[in-house]
Structures are given as structure tokens and as C-alpha cells.
């Protein structure tokens, strides 16, 4: 399915709230992704997503509508050579290859934009779809940390998947 990655804009607010307000999405994300997803939360997110230069949080657009988001979160301090990948997609578009095609674009963006060596993602153990899409894109499971996440009253395992910057051979 055709899609494009682009910066968020305030005109995405209605579409963002419509597509993000879904328990089946929220259950796989941190509590910073609220449920229910309100207009106020959407305004706050769009302001946050558009404040940095370079922009590193993007809308996933399908047929002119923002139906998901994907971003790179550069780390600091001792983790400054790393960036975290995060993403979500409207349930209406699951299984169409959008996230699978968006991930390599974001990894390429991360390695070209930031002085990093590693991009990582932290899906919950219950999110098998995300695990599969990361593995399909060359991410390797580096760790499983048992019972360290609490989401909606349930204890979950954190998985850490990562991909490394390709080594140049001279």
C-alpha cells in the first residue's frame, strides 16, 4: 500500500485522534500514548512532534490522511550513540506492509542524520506483530527482561531489538 512519511501538522489533529483512539494500539505503547486519545492530547503531541530541528517524528500518511506515526528518538549522555525507534499504525491499516516499509526509511534517516551506531526498539512480549516486522527488517533480539513493564494492570516482558550501523570495509 502506498504511503508517505512527512512532518506532523495541526491539520492532522482530527485524523490523529480518530486513528489513535484505539485500545488495540494503546495496549502496545507506553503510557505517554494515552487512552482514550483526546483532542487535547493530540494538540500536545503535534506541538511536541514539530518542535525539534531536524524533525524526527513523522506522520504516516495514506490517501492524504495521517493514519499513524513513526519516529527516531536520539538518546543522550552515555547512550548518545543510540536512538530508539517507535511507531504505531491505525488498526485499519495493519497487515498491509506499511510499517515494514517505513522502518528501513527511518533507520536510514537515523544513520544519515545522527552520529549513532545503533537503532533499537522495545516491543512488549505480547506484540508479536511488531517483533516480526523488526526481525524482517534485520533487527536482532538483544534482550528479554521479564516482568518489568506494567500496562493496564498486567506485568509484561520488555524485549530489546536492535540494528547496528553497517560497518564500512576499506
63: phi then psi, degrees, rounded to nearest 5: 50, 45
Tell which residue, 65, 63, 25, has the closest CA to residue 33: 25
Bond prior to 145 in cis (omega within 30° of 0): no
Per-domain boundaries in the chain: 4-164
The predicted structure's pLDDT at residue 170: 66
Q: What is the mean pLDDT of residues 57-83?
A: 98
For the segment 25-39, what is each residue's pLDDT rounded down to a tens digit? 999 999 999 999 999
Bond prior to 37 in cis (omega within 30° of 0): no
For the segment 110-163, what is each residue's pLDDT rounded down to a tens digit? 999 999 999 999 999 999 999 999 999 999 999 999 999 999 999 999 999 999
Q: Select from 3.30.70.1230, 3.40.50.720, 3.40.630.30, 1.10.540.10 the CATH code of 4-164.
A: 3.40.630.30
Amino acid at each position: 500500500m502506498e504511503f508517505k512519511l512527512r512532518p506532523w501538522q495541526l491539520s492532522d489533529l482530527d485524523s490523529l485522534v480518530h486513528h489513535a483512539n484505539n485500545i488495540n494500539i494503546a495496549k502496545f505503547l507506553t503510557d505517554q500514548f494515552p487512552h482514550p486519545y483526546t483532542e487535547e492530547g493530540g494538540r500536545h503531541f503535534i506541538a511536541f512532534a514539530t518542535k525539534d530541528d531536524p524533525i524526527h517524528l513523522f506522520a504516516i500518511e495514506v490517501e492524504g490522511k495521517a493514519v499513524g506515526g513513526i519516529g527516531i528518538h536520539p538518546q543522550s549522555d552515555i547512550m548518545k550513540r543510540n536512538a530508539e525507534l517507535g511507531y504505531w499504525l491505525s488498526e485499519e491499516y495493519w497487515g498491509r506492509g506499511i510499517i515494514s516499509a517505513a522502518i528501513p526509511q527511518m533507520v536510514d534517516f537515523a544513520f544519515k542524520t545522527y552520529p549513532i551506531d545503533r537503532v533499537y526498539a522495545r516491543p512488549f512480549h505480547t506484540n508479536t506483530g511488531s517483533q516480526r516486522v523488526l526481525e524482517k527488517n534485520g533487527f536482532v533480539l538483544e534482550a528479554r527482561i521479564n516482568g518489568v513493564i506494567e500496562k493496564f494492570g498486567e506485568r509484561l516482558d520488555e524485549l530489546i531489538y536492535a540494528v547496528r550501523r553497517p560497518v564500512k570495509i576499506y
